[in-house]
Structure 1
Amino acid sequence: MANRRRWDSELAAVCESARVSGTPVAVVLVDLDQFKQVNDQYGHAGGDEALRQVARLLRDRVRGDDLAARLGGDELALLLPGAGFERAHGVAEDVRLTATGLQLAGFPGMRLTLSLGVAVANGEQSVPQWLMSDADEQLYRAKATRNAVSAGAVHSGAGRGTAAVTAD
């Protein structure tokens, strides 16, 4: 997976391109629900395996121009250039649903769920700080119920886009 440095560089470049071309860009932030409890119950080896499985899942869901990254600790993300609201929300929901069925070798009974925050911007709204801030806000909403996706469109100024929250 890409690291934080590559993420920041790619996000800046993709946003610049989106501002010039007027195309959409989406950011999906991914949180492993109750990750501390996973580490407490299964040890750091269990936590590491959970991260590896989720990282593999994210890499399997990206297209050629997309980017899966580990931003730090258990903070993971997807960058989806050209993805509008429907595709970004669909990818996030697919990741969420697939994660619930992951079987972690050597850790029977471990059940993973994810909370995902999605932000989508178009054209001039494609500013890295706005995308990351809005994706983080959506992630916070998803974490309120856990095992959920919350998504919205980026807007400059005070207003925010429509949010959609889905959960099992």
Structure 2
Amino acid sequence: MKSIKVLAVVALTTLASFTSQAQSSKTIVENAIGSKDHTTLVAAVKAADLVDVLSSKGPFTVFAPTNEAFAKLPKGTVETLLKPENKAKLQAVLTYHVVAGNLDSKAVVEAIKKGNGSVTLTTVQGGKIVASLSGKNVILTDENGNKSTITAVDITSSNGVIHVIDTVVLPKS
């Protein structure tokens, strides 16, 4: 019960940072821009020229790493990815966090249960992410075996849904 309360507090805090009310009339990009916890993600989306794509009709499901998630990467990684000559690699990393369709938390959990404990999601980048449950938490495992926990769910947007994650997931390099 204590972990549910902690998760609820984390989720509410993160949701509050997305604007006072994450309104479904805003796009995924507009909601991210309104979040003080996603400034690195927004800068990366801009550097990768993905603003128009992630503002388009969709629908998309975005697993949005926080600034703290990006800070967990090896020193210099973010700065290197943001260089113009690394635009294609940055696009690959960012589109690895996007799944076509509108997968709210209920749909993700149902798919995990139907999959006997896990579901493999194909990202827009073309790679795979495995979603599974650990207690009440949804865990994403990337193609390298790294894990990320979803810390806030169902931030609705006009063109999809955002789920906040605590670690950047990476495609196979």
Q: TM-score, normalised by structure 1?
A: 0.32
- Greater helix share, structure number: 1
Q: TM-score, normalised by structure 2?
A: 0.32
